Amino acid sequence: MLGIPFLDEAITKWFKPQVFDDPIDRLNYFATATMLAFFAIMVSAKQYVGSPIQCFMPMEFKGGWEQYAEDFCFIQNTYYVPMLEAIPETETEREEAQFSYYQWVPVVLALQAIMFYLPNWVWRTLHQQSGLDLNTCVGDAAKMRNMHADERKVERARLCQYIGETLEMHENHRVARQVLCLRLGRNLGSYVATLYLGIKLLYCINIALQFFILNRFLKVEYAFWGVEILMQLWSGSDWEDTSVFPRVTLCDFKVRRLANIHNYTVQCVLMINMFNEKIFIFIWFWFAFVMIATICNFLYSAWSLLAPSARSSTVNAYLKHFNNIPTDPASKNVVNCFVNKALCPDGVLLLRFIEGHAGAIVAREVTATLFSDYVNGLKDLIPEVRSHDLSGTKSTTPGGDDYYEKHHGHSPTFKDEKHPLMEVDSGRH
């Protein structure tokens, strides 16, 4: 990239897409942050390498005097007065017409890029404290796509054993829990999901704050100035007629000659505003798109992770590829308990990550194996399952795959439209 030791690796590590996110997350912390950083570098190059301002000087200004005046006007602020209006007489009126944002554009763009990346840094830092290694789970699941059947079966069993132990899916590994699994805490089934939704809320707050910063920085009172400028251009107005990004401005400065102070007012062309104008109009519409997408994504994620019915629908969509899965009330209760008492929001979120990065087939296989493991763990509690109560005493009724063999004459199988039937093992060896 830049050819600077350690810097290339650091930038690649910080800004590369993660495996435990979704496209809207990447739209915020990767696409938008990278775009803003690129704009900051581009404007900086124009300001400090090119010629951001040129002024029409009096005849007596030669050589160094002209360069001095242009540098002074660029750093000291200029003010905008429409060409057909008279120049204000007092300094107060001229100061009120000043605008100084153009000097700070690279800094503000860089800070905006950092703000878009910050929620992802918080997510990467805090999710590691959950005890659930998302990198390993999603990475190992993705590797399963290229494995042969036997190797794939062993890897799936190992992965599901780790997930089950981490989520404390089995009754003999857990203390009493509330039915809906909407609790906070590292080992109580919703730490990762709650943190993930909190990060998505941060993205929503950040994009709203970005609009506020943009309006304050450009000193515009109309929140929809991007639409207003676009309408002006659509109606045939020239770019230089817009007061937000004026091309032609005025600058006042003083020159001391011997004992006298001479006041000068010069007319300047802010060529840097040609870039700022297009950049900020594009950013305004981009932010509007990102805001709509981020808010919709947050609402959908909150519903899909917090609503028990939504979690059940997600898992049932994976389990429906079982062949001849029982549909009696007791079996439905087993599935609901598997979703709401075993997987909980953290497990459902993990399955979504696996589907997004390893594919739907792998997600179905992992879900099927986790469910088979869970049913095997209930072999002493099947009478209580039939009574819709998982908190009863032991029973000698068969459990796990034996439960299905008793009712259907065979072990549960996994069906995929493009792949032959495959028996799902319980993961126990």
Q: Tens digits of per-residue pLDDT, 364-421?
A: 889 888 888 888 776 655 554 444 443 333 333 333 343 334 333 444 444 444 433 3
**2 occurs within a structural domain:** no
**77 occurs within a structural domain:** yes
Lowest mean pLDDT among 70-84, 196-210, 318-332: 318-332
Are residues 211 and 95 part of one domain?
A: yes
Are residues 360 and 288 part of one domain?
A: no
pLDDT for the residue 135:
82
Are residues 357 and 394 part of one domain?
A: yes
Are residues 341 and 236 part of one domain?
A: no
Confidence grade of residue 360 (pLDDT, cut at 50, 70, 90): confident
Check whether 298 has a pLDDT greater than 90: yes
**144 occurs within a structural domain:** yes
Lowest mean pLDDT among 300-309, 357-366, 411-420: 411-420
pLDDT for the residue 241:
55
**140 occurs within a structural domain:** yes
pLDDT for the residue 429:
42
Q: Output the pTM of the full model.
A: 0.74
Predicted confidence (pLDDT) per residue in 147-174, tens digit: 888 888 888 889 888 888 887 654 444 4
Confidence grade of residue 318 (pLDDT, cut at 50, 70, 90): confident
Higher pLDDT, residue 131 or 270 = 270
In angstroms, rounded to a whole number, what is the distance separating the alpha carbons of residues 237 and 231?
9
Higher pLDDT, residue 424 or 327 = 327
Are residues 218 and 104 part of one domain?
A: yes
- Among 248, 271, 297, identify where a domain stops: 297
Are residues 135 and 117 part of one domain?
A: no
- Among 297, 330, 348, identify where a domain stops: 297
Please count the other Cβ atoms lying within 10 Å of the Cβ belonging to residue 295.
17
Predicted confidence (pLDDT) per residue in 274-290, tens digit: 888 889 889 999 999 99
Are residues 268 and 416 part of one domain?
A: no
Confidence grade of residue 138 (pLDDT, cut at 50, 70, 90): confident
Check whether 294 has a pLDDT greater than 70: yes
Range of the domain at 293: 7-123+205-297
pLDDT for the residue 359:
86
Check whether 112 has a pLDDT greater than 90: yes
In angstroms, rounded to a whole number, what is the distance separating the alpha carbons of residues 97 and 112?
26
Are residues 108 and 19 part of one domain?
A: yes
Predicted confidence (pLDDT) per residue in 54-67, tens digit: 888 878 777 778 88
Predicted confidence (pLDDT) per residue in 338-356, tens digit: 888 888 888 899 999 998 8
Check whether 175 has a pLDDT greater than 50: no
* Structural domain count of the chain: 2
Confidence grade of residue 206 (pLDDT, cut at 50, 70, 90): very high
Predicted confidence (pLDDT) per residue in 241-258, tens digit: 566 788 888 888 877 777
**317 occurs within a structural domain:** yes
- Among 297, 318, 348, identify where a domain stops: 297
**172 occurs within a structural domain:** no
Are residues 107 and 30 part of one domain?
A: yes
Share of the chain above pLDDT 70, in %: 74
Are residues 343 and 250 part of one domain?
A: no
Check whether 87 has a pLDDT greater than 70: yes
Are residues 146 and 113 part of one domain?
A: no
- The mean per-residue pLDDT over the stretch 5-29 comes to 68
**194 occurs within a structural domain:** no
**280 occurs within a structural domain:** yes
Mean pLDDT of the chain: 75
Higher pLDDT, residue 407 or 28 = 28
- The mean per-residue pLDDT over the stretch 68-76 comes to 83
pLDDT for the residue 320:
81
Are residues 163 and 278 part of one domain?
A: no
